[in-house]
């Protein structure tokens, strides 16, 4: 691939991701404003349960497809390449069906668990279809990444978020159930589109009969299980705060807290194009024996993100009351302090954005497991204690504390990797965690 082609694809990827993020934020604001804090809290509980269960059950085999797919493509081992594709597809289908079954079984009891959030059964039954649709979308996306077409992937993000915005705008004026139905309809259309194109991308790889993974079988299974463990912990990190808040407080507190997380979404989007490009290009570089390129890229990202946050974070914190009133509306004024705390956590997560792709690139997903476990150990008790005592502001403080713990864990892991590299070099090896 020529330099100009790569630059154009990167530009298209960034444009697509930022456009999709704007559409996604618009969709969230539509639901947030039309439903109000209490009904938006119920809507958030429904989606929270869906994503929590789906991420908890999934084996995250899509990441294994990226890692091992690039490995076999680099070796031109097309028999094992197609074997990995089939196995990961089977994993995703089975686990997503299991997730949907659990959500449907939980639906009749949801209002008892979230005792101040009635009327959750029907929207949860509808939402039980979402894990299967999202898993199929994810697999189609990974096939595009294996072709190096992260720009096409970003275009489908725009399509998906545009459809979701339309679905939510049509459904939200009629209540929570209609909003979930609009979300579901958009997901059906998105999954159908990207799955079709992903199948075309797969057929452009050289054809070969699938063959057993042989000596790679054990490392593949270990990779999938480690990624699954990390995904489970990540589901706790992402959704335990609003769900736990719904148990110890009420639906209104959940709605306010999800409103406070809106600026966090914006910060996360800033690094999204870079993270997608890093996952694709750095994994390919690593499998082609260029680890120094990967490490240099991580270093550049960290320095640039740190400098950006040093400039952006202070004025955002100062302007937060104005931002909340303008973007969320006066009903969400009680979430201002929580939003300030959550944005601080978001800045930490942005600087550490490379930690999402780097462990996959080097084939060590257990690094994320360790870091997220540390984060969860801090978050879970903090959200229960602080959320119950101080409501949405306490929940924001719990999120910030857990992000600090996450950063500390990665600081330790980075130092350990550096020592490992130096030890290998001193022993005459190539280094870079060989």
pLDDT tens for each residue of 261-308: 877 776 776 677 677 677 778 888 888 888 888 888 889 999 999 999
Lowest-pLDDT range of 158-172, 270-284, 412-426: 270-284
pLDDT above 80 (res 150): no
Mean pLDDT of 162-170: 93
- DSSP secondary structure string for all residues of 45-110: HHHHHHHHHHHHH---HHHHHHHHHHHHHHHT-HHHHHHHHHHHHHHHHHHHHHHHHHHHHHGGGH
Look up the pTM and report it: 0.71
Q: Determine how many CB atoms are found less than 10 A away from the CB of residue 109.
A: 12
Exposed e or buried b per residue across 31-64, where buried means at least 16 C-beta atoms within 10 angstroms of its C-beta: bbbbbebbbbbbbbbbbbbbbbbbbbbbbbbbbb
User: Mean pLDDT across the chain, nearest whole number?
Assistant: 85
pLDDT above 60 (res 3): no
pLDDT classification of 46: cutoffs 50, 70, 90 = very high
Predicted pLDDT of residue 128? 94
Lowest-pLDDT range of 60-64, 73-77, 107-111, 354-358: 60-64
Report the percentage of the chain scoring pLDDT > 90: 32
Q: Which tokens hold the place of 385?
A: 């204690």
């Amino acid at each position: 691939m020529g330099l100009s082609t790569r630059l154009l694809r990167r530009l298209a990827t960034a444009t697509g991701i930022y456009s999709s993020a704007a559409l996604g934020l618009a969709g969230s604001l539509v639901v947030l404003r039309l439903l109000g804090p209490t009904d938006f809290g119920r809507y958030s509980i429904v989606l929270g349960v869906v994503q929590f269960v789906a991420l908890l059950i999934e084996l995250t085999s899509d990441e294994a497809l990226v890692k091992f797919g690039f490995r076999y493509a680099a070796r031109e081992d097309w028999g094992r390449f197609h074997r990995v594709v089939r196995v990961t597809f089977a994993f995703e289908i089975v686990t997503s069906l299991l997730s949907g079954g659990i959500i449907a079984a939980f639906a009749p009891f949801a209002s008892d668990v979230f005792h101040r959030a009635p009327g959750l059964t029907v929207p949860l039954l509808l939402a039980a279809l979402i894990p299967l649709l999202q898993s199929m979308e994810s697999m189609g996306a990974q096939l595009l990444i294996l072709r190096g077409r992260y720009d096409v992937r970003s275009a489908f993000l725009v399509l998906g978020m545009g459809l979701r915005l339309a679905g939510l705008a049509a459904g939200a004026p009629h209540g929570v159930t209609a909003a979930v139905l609009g979300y579901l309809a958009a997901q059906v259309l998105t999954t159908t589109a990207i799955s079709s194109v992903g199948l075309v991308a797969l057929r452009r790889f050289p054809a070969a009969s699938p063959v057993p993974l042989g000596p790679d079988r054990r490392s593949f299974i270990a990779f999938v299980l480690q990624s699954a463990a990390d995904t489970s912990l990540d589901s706790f990190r992402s959704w335990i705060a609003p769900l736990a808040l719904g148990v110890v407080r009420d639906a209104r507190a959940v709605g306010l807290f999800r409103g406070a997380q809106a600026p966090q979404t914006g910060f996360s989007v800033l690094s999204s194009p870079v993270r997608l490009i890093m996952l694709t290009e750095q994994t390919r570089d690593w499998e082609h024996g260029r680890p120094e390129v990967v490490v240099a890229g991580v270093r550049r990202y960290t320095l640039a993100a740190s400098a950006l946050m040093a400039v952006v974070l202070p004025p955002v914190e100062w302007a937060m009351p104005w931002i909340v009133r303008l973007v969320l509306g006066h009903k969400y004024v009680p979430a201002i302090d929580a939003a300030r705390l959550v944005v601080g956590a978001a800045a930490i997560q942005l600087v550490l954005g490379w930690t999402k792709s780097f462990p996959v690139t080097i084939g060590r997903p257990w690094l994320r497991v360790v870091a997220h476990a540390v984060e969860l150990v801090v978050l879970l008790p903090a959200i229960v204690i602080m959320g119950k005592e101080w409501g949405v502001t306490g929940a924001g403080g719990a999120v910030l504390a857990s992000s600090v713990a996450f950063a500390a864990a990665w600081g330790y892991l980075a130092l350990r990797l550096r020592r490992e590299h130096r030890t290998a070099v001193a022993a005459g090896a190539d280094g870079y965690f060989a």
